[in-house]
Amino acid sequence: MVPAPFDVLAKRQDTEDTWTLELQPRSGEPFEFAPGQFTMLSAGGAGEVPMSISGDPDEPQRLVHTVHSLGLATQAVCEAEPGQVLSVRGPFGRPWPLEAIEGADVVIAAGGLGLPPVRPAILRMLAHRERYGRLVLLYSARSPEQVLFPDELTAWSERGLEVLVTVDSAGPEWRGHVGVVTRLIRPAKLETGILVAMSCGPEVMMRFVLAALADDGVRSDRMYVSMERNMQCGIGLCGHCQLGPKLLCRDGPVCRWSEIAPWLSVREL
Amino acid sequence: MRMIDELIAATPTFAGLEPAHLELLAGCGRNEHVAAGELLMREGEAADRFFLIRRGLVALEVDAPGRGAMQIQTLHEGEVVGWSWLFAPFRWAVDGRAVESCGLIAFDGACLRGKCEDDHELGYQLMRRFAAVVIDRLQGTRLQLLDLYGRAPASA
């Protein structure tokens, strides 16, 4: 697939090293995507990087990415200013199964930079709030300063998303939870029999939070994760993102936990 | 209004205790209310009590010179605060502060230690249950130590 030029329309700094960029396709065509999908994004000659889409799927005239400046490619993207052009391929991958889980209570467990990839799913579910039971977000961050989208978290809670936030450590001014995300499960008082879980964040975090939910009675075929691997081609050809029998750029990034969990316990993969 | 033994029995930590042991435990407990910001326990002081949170949020804190009181974990409704009353040298290792107005059951740990010496089955049951609390918090602390949301090695 040939990269398409996108203009940087706006840029906002979320934390010390994370920026949200709004892009617009130069073609003028809307950029349709499903929540959970990703693009291959690049700035100049710094290389391509797989990036989850963090924007609203019902606003396809804007492509929104929240990017952590970590290496050469992401640093170049984060340094792009309004008026500059970025290259985009996609969208790629399997999305969150939002239609299949209608009617269920949904808990979303997100950690750190795992919040942007679930943001489109949250926006879509809130836009169709009546189609779901309880919607609960368990979100953990490193510190209060690293909490992403704080204003939106408040706005989402006013629209019917129960938001519980925890941080790894905090100063005395913090009035919320401190500790790992698994410790939010009990205060959330989830009814696990009718629950679907979606998780995105560091793999260790997802493993522990889903194990805790399974201990509480959530079936592993009702749990979904967004996986991160070395995606390169985006269309299941190059094999760089292989995990067991799956090519995660094509068969993921969203996977059913029951299908992916056995492969994550193989340490050599 | 629910009695203290009923409230205790409804918590995950003490669910399943025999009625006689629940009664013993309840006999050492009393309802207390603390205001937001109030200290429940202070690092280094004698640990002769523990608490069960009925309502509210309690932060465990370590005072770090130059940084102030760092919150390392918060405990919520239905959880116990404090295990140092059960293990020598019976001194608090951290501060405990009410983040918001809290309703608590405060237990006389010194009294309970004596009852555990007299009734080893009670002692075993409490040791087993508090060990589970310690393990749960240790697992959480291990994950916090991994600093999962910190800066990862540079890749893309």
* pLDDT (tens digit per residue) in A221-235: 999 999 888 888 888
For residue B28, the enclosing domain spans: 4-144
Token pair, residue A93, equals 């991958």
Token pair, residue A34, equals 């499903």
Mean pLDDT of A48-65: 95
Of the partner residues B67, B73, B147, the one whose CB lies closest to the CB of residue A179: B73
- pLDDT confidence of residue B153: 47
Of A212, A191, A190, A197, which Cα lies nearest the Cα of A254? A197
Of the partner residues B61, B149, B156, the one whose CB lies closest to the CB of residue A141: B149
- SS3 at position A202: coil
- Looking at the fold, whether A8 and A78 belong to one and the same domain comes out as yes
- Looking at the fold, whether A25 and A137 belong to one and the same domain comes out as no
The separation between the first and the last C-alpha atoms of chain B, rounded to the nearest angstrom, is 59
CB burial of B4-17 (b: ≥16 within 10 Å; e: otherwise) equals: bbebbbebebbeeb
Cβ <8 Å between A17 and B68: no
Mean pLDDT of B99-128: 95
- pLDDT confidence of residue B66: 84
- Looking at the fold, whether A119 and A61 belong to one and the same domain comes out as no
> Which of these three, A66, A92, A118, is where a domain ends?
A92
Q: In terms of DSSP H, where are the helices of A195-241?
A: 203-215
pLDDT at A147 over 80: yes
Query: Is the separation of the CB atoms in A109 and A209 below 8 Å?
Result: yes
Distance, in Å, from the CA atom of A108 to the CA atom of A120, rounded to the nearest integer, reads 12
Distance, in Å, from the CA atom of B65 to the CA atom of B69, rounded to the nearest integer, reads 9
Which residues of B sit within 8 Å Cβ distance of A?
A: 12, 57, 59, 61, 67-74, 76-78, 99-100, 139-140, 143-144, 146-152, 154-156
Mean pLDDT of A190-219: 93
Examine residue A98 and state whether it is found in any structural domain, yes or no: no
Rounded (to 5) percent helix, strand, coil in chain A:
30, 35, 40
Examine residue B40 and state whether it is found in any structural domain, yes or no: yes
> Which of these three, A59, A92, A125, is where a domain ends?
A92
Cβ <8 Å between A170 and B100: no
- Looking at the fold, whether A9 and A82 belong to one and the same domain comes out as yes
Cβ <8 Å between A171 and B57: no
Q: Which residues of A touch B149 (CB under 8 A)?
A: 111-113, 140-142, 146, 168, 201-202
* Residue A99, burial from CB neighbour count under 10 angstroms (0-12, 13-18, 19+): exposed
For residue A117, the enclosing domain spans: 105-226
- Looking at the fold, whether A143 and A57 belong to one and the same domain comes out as no
Distance, in Å, from the CA atom of B16 to the CA atom of B125, rounded to the nearest integer, reads 10
Cβ <8 Å between A170 and B71: yes
Cβ <8 Å between B149 and A187: no
pLDDT above 70 coverage of chain A, percent: 99
Q: How confident is the model at residue A246 (pLDDT cuts 50, 70, 90)?
A: confident
Residue A161 has a CB neighbour count (10 Å cut-off) of 21
Check which CATH number belongs to the domain holding A136 and give it: 3.40.50.80
Q: How confident is the model at residue B152 (pLDDT cuts 50, 70, 90)?
A: low
Domain count for chain A, please give it: 2
Check which CATH number belongs to the domain holding A59 and give it: 2.40.30.10
Examine residue B155 and state whether it is found in any structural domain, yes or no: no
Examine residue B49 and state whether it is found in any structural domain, yes or no: yes
- Looking at the fold, whether A55 and A157 belong to one and the same domain comes out as no
ipTM of the complex model? 0.88
Mean pLDDT of B53-57: 96
> Which of these three, A92, A123, A147, is where a domain ends?
A92
- pLDDT confidence of residue B154: 44
The answer to which of A71-75, A249-253, B95-99 has the lowest mean pLDDT is: A249-253
Cβ <8 Å between B146 and A49: no
Distance, in Å, from the CA atom of B87 to the CA atom of B106, rounded to the nearest integer, reads 18
Parallel, antiparallel or unpaired: strands A18-25 and A63-68: antiparallel
Q: How confident is the model at residue B155 (pLDDT cuts 50, 70, 90)?
A: very low
Domain count for chain B, please give it: 1
Examine residue A17 and state whether it is found in any structural domain, yes or no: yes
Examine residue A245 and state whether it is found in any structural domain, yes or no: no
Mean pLDDT of A98-123: 96
Q: How confident is the model at residue A127 (pLDDT cuts 50, 70, 90)?
A: very high
Q: How confident is the model at residue B156 (pLDDT cuts 50, 70, 90)?
A: very low
Nearest-neighbour CA in chain A from B95: distance (Å): 12
Examine residue B150 and state whether it is found in any structural domain, yes or no: no
Examine residue A231 and state whether it is found in any structural domain, yes or no: no
- Looking at the fold, whether A110 and A208 belong to one and the same domain comes out as yes
- pLDDT confidence of residue B117: 93
Give the angle A100-A103-A106 at the CA atoms, nearest 5°.
85
What are phi and psi for residue A182, nearest 5 degrees?
A: -60, -25
pLDDT at B114 over 70: yes
Examine residue A18 and state whether it is found in any structural domain, yes or no: yes
Q: How confident is the model at residue A243 (pLDDT cuts 50, 70, 90)?
A: confident
Check which CATH number belongs to the domain holding B47 and give it: 2.60.120.10
Cβ <8 Å between A70 and B99: no
Count of H helices and E strands in chain A?
7, 15
Examine residue A241 and state whether it is found in any structural domain, yes or no: no
- Looking at the fold, whether A167 and A222 belong to one and the same domain comes out as yes
Count of CB pairs separated by less than 8 Å, A with B:
86
